[in-house]
Amino acid sequence: MAWNNHACVTGIVWDAPKIKELRSGMVCAEFSIGVENTMGKHPDGKPLKKISWLRIKCWGNDAIDARDNLAKGDTAIITGRIVVRQFEKDGQKRSVFEVWSDFKGLKWEKKDGSKGECSDAKREKTDAEEINLDDDPF
């Protein structure tokens, strides 16, 4: 049986996407979104809400679309896969969970109500084989 890794998250963009070019020439953008979770109720009956912060990475044309179209406060819908990266910092092993946007994986709604999504006409499919985990710009 094949297991698929698929994630779809909707949240508020916290910071404008930062874009970098990797040594391989591929473009990568990174930004964070806040996702609101309801976790029960306060004693007074009001919903208890918590914000979870997720790191998002976009590749190729998704990265360029993110840079050109997303700003702090916009709503973004990202589909992709969950990637766990492990690294060592100050002698301690750490793990980072990220959502990597996939082909056609980015949609948005601006604060002014306008909407958009990545365009197939300028799309280049990002295959997993093209991405080198060791070639991380962040």
pLDDT in tens, 39-94: 888 888 888 888 889 999 988 888 888 888 888 888 888 888 899 989 899 999 99
pLDDT in tens, 6-40: 888 889 999 989 999 989 989 999 999 999 888 88
In order of their start, the domains of the chain are: 7-123 (2.40.50.140)
Look at residues 4, 5, 9, 3 and name the one whose alpha carbon lies nearest to residue 79: 9
Residues 96 and 75: their CA atoms lie apart, in Å, by: 23
CA 17 to centroid of chain Cα atoms: 9
pTM for the model stands at: 0.70
Instruction: Assign residue 5 a region (left: φ > 0; alpha: ψ between -120 and 50; beta: otherwise).
Output: beta
| Amino acid 7: pLDDT | 86
Amino acid at 31: F
| Amino acid 1: pLDDT | 52
Residue 126: pLDDT band by 50, 70, 90 thresholds? Answer: very low
CB 19 within 8 A of CB 131: no
Measured CA to CA in angstroms, residue 122 lies from 10, 26, 31, 41 at distances of 24, 15, 22, 46
Residue 123: pLDDT band by 50, 70, 90 thresholds? Answer: very low
| Amino acid 56: pLDDT | 93
| Amino acid 110: pLDDT | 73
| Amino acid 116: pLDDT | 72
Residues 120 and 83: their CA atoms lie apart, in Å, by: 24
| Amino acid 119: pLDDT | 54
| Amino acid 18: pLDDT | 93
